[in-house]
Amino acid sequence: MTNEALGLGDILMRLGAAGAAGCLVGLNRNLHHQGAGLRTYGLVALATAGLTLGILMAGGGPETLSRVVQGIMAGVGFLGGGVIMRRSDVGHITGLTSAAAIWFVAGLSVLCGLGFWLLSAVLLLFALLLLIFGRRVEQFAAGWWGTESEDDEAHGSG
């Protein structure tokens, strides 16, 4: 990978796409009254895309990019672990969807930083559909098969 001379427009587009995607996912989490929301997800997205862009612009090779992405994903996984809680008062684990969403936003932001637009758009579309309609599908399936829903929404972490 060579030093990529990215113009201001390309930098703004990559950071803007990552930031907007992170904010959309974060807004969903806000609307579900989760602790981490629009600002948290937006910051994770911008930082992740920014680090990815920085490596590209510095001329880091594939090995360097791979190490940075691994570090980002591990670090964000640790951040996501901070939103997972076991509530002993009700015996439920909460925050699983939010933790997964933080990790997803980081991965999506790496792709935005690399300029993989089609893949980024398709992933964001599928994630938003899952976040918006997933609970309804689970509730429908639980009613259809006569079982209780085991989703994390039922456990208070939606």
User: Is there a domain that residue 57 lies in?
Assistant: yes
User: Is there a domain that residue 150 lies in?
Assistant: no
Give 94's strand partners.
85
User: Is there a domain that residue 151 lies in?
Assistant: no
User: Is there a domain that residue 69 lies in?
Assistant: yes
Report how far residue 56's alpha carbon sits from residue 44's, in angstroms, rounded to the nearest whole number. Answer: 18
* Mean pLDDT, all residues of the chain: 87
Q: For residue 118, give its domain range.
A: 8-145
> What's the pLDDT tens digit per position in 111-136?
999 999 999 999 999 999 999 999 89
pLDDT above 90 covers a percentage of the chain that reads 63
Number of domains in the chain: 1
Strands (E), 84-149: 85-87, 92-94
Q: List Cβ neighbours of 92 (8 Å cut-off, separation of 6 or more).
A: 86, 155, 156, 157
User: Is there a domain that residue 42 lies in?
Assistant: yes
Report how far residue 115's alpha carbon sits from residue 66's, in angstroms, rounded to the nearest whole number. Answer: 16
Is pLDDT above 70 for 59? yes
Q: What are phi and psi of 110, to 5 degrees?
A: -60, -45
Q: List Cβ neighbours of 29 (8 Å cut-off, separation of 6 or more).
A: 36, 37, 38, 41, 98, 101
Is pLDDT above 80 for 108? yes
Q: Place 3 in a pLDDT band, splitting at 50, 70 and 90.
A: low
> What's the pLDDT tens digit per position in 60-107?
899 999 999 999 999 998 888 888 877 777 778 888 899 999 999 999
Vertex 92 angle, CA 91 and 94, to 5°: 150
Three-state secondary-structure class, residue 94: strand
Q: What are phi and psi of 144, to 5 degrees?
A: -65, -45
* CB hemisphere CA count around 25 (13 angstroms): 32
Structure tokens at 156: 């208070």
User: Is there a domain that residue 3 lies in?
Assistant: no
User: Is there a domain that residue 47 lies in?
Assistant: yes
Structure tokens at 125: 């579309």
